[in-house]
Amino acid sequence: MRVLSRYDARHLRDAGALDDITSFAAKLCEAPVALVTLLDDDEQYFVGRTGTDLEGTPRDVALCGHVAATGTFLEVPDLTGDDRFACNPLVTGELALRYYAGMPMITADDEVIGTLCILDFAPHVRLSDLQREGLAVLARAAMARLRTRESTREQDEAAARSRVAIEDSERRFRTLADTMPQMVWSTLPDGYHDYYNARWYDFTGTPAGSTDGEGWNDVFHPDDQARAWDIWRHSLATGEP
């Protein structure tokens, strides 16, 4: 599952994020089926597909495994006439494939993780140079989208880990602050009071939350509120205690 999870394959497949590439590839090569496949340890997963509802095949019967082994383009006009594929269940079974062309999708560290492939249920003439070049361009486009998804997923996971760490740190802080004998409070850079510990409420007798924001000024005697507020704003502006 390493490759599938790395690129969040199921999300991409369900979103149809690569189906436009397979649709164009099928039209370009005049074939009924086109796939973007990812090869994992035990399975071949169709992350983009046109002309079939299949989600994948076992890795051990995957025609694309031969492309992964060599890292080069492979085309077989008639699978029944090739000893490597003639007895493959995808050829002899109900699917009855007859033609295959696969262009490798290669990572930046030269790992073949899958293919952009063309399939037909009848023998097929060999692709022209233009069709083959187009297939290579589309395979690179598919690989670029996979890299984008990988980067987005990593950023999302990093952000999630950061949120968890912040929340855990906040819980630890509040647990510590609420057990201290001193009053503890915190304020945002704009002067908004966002936290008071339990000792503050015990000492002042004010209801929880009533001194948040600018509410702290209400605890002063009315004659002193304006002066307290002026001193607080001066402290914010200058950094003086």
Report the CATH number that the domain containing residue 123 is assigned in CATH.
3.30.450.40
Q: Residue 179's pLDDT band (boundaries 50, 70, 90)?
A: confident
Domain's final residue, options 124, 156, 188: 156
pTM over 0.85, yes/no = no
Say whether pLDDT at 135 is over 70: yes
The rounded distance, in Å, linking the Cα atoms of 68 and 200 is 66
The rounded distance, in Å, linking the Cα atoms of 6 and 38 is 11
Note the pLDDT tens digit of each residue in 54-96: 999 999 999 999 999 999 999 999 999 999 999 999 999 999 9
Closest CA to 143 of 102, 111, 107: 107
Query: Do 41 and 59 touch, CB atoms closer than 8 A?
Result: yes
Q: How many angstroms separate the first and last alpha carbons of the chain?
A: 57
In a domain, 165, yes or no: no
Note the pLDDT tens digit of each residue in 196-220: 888 888 888 888 888 888 888 888 8
In a domain, 161, yes or no: no
Q: What is the CATH number of the domain that holds 220?
A: 3.30.450.20
Q: Which two tokens stand for residue 184?
A: 């503890």
Residue 18 shares a structural domain with residue 53: yes
Residue 121 shares a structural domain with residue 220: no
Say whether pLDDT at 132 is over 80: yes
Residue 189 shares a structural domain with residue 128: no
Q: Residue 1's pLDDT band (boundaries 50, 70, 90)?
A: low
In a domain, 61, yes or no: yes
Q: Which two tokens stand for residue 71?
A: 């890292």
Closest CA to 118 of 36, 40, 12, 20: 36
In a domain, 78, yes or no: yes
Residue 63 shares a structural domain with residue 151: yes
Q: For the chain, how many structural domains are there in total?
A: 2
Q: Average pLDDT, whole number, for the chain?
A: 89
Q: How many CA atoms lie within 13 Å of 136's alpha carbon, on the beta-carbon side?
A: 12
Say whether pLDDT at 137 is over 70: yes
56: β partners: 45
Query: Do 3 and 106 touch, CB atoms closer than 8 A?
Result: no
Cα 43 to Cα 19, 107, 162: the distances in Å are 20, 19, 33
Residue 41 shares a structural domain with residue 110: yes
Q: 40 is in which domain, residue-wise?
A: 2-156
The rounded distance, in Å, linking the Cα atoms of 196 and 203 is 11
Domain's final residue, options 140, 156, 172: 156
Domain's final residue, options 93, 124, 156: 156
Taking the C-alpha atoms of 219, 210, 190 and 227 in order, what is their torsion angle to the nearest 10 degrees? -10
Residue 112 shares a structural domain with residue 199: no
Closest CA to 140 of 73, 43, 75, 76: 73
In a domain, 175, yes or no: no
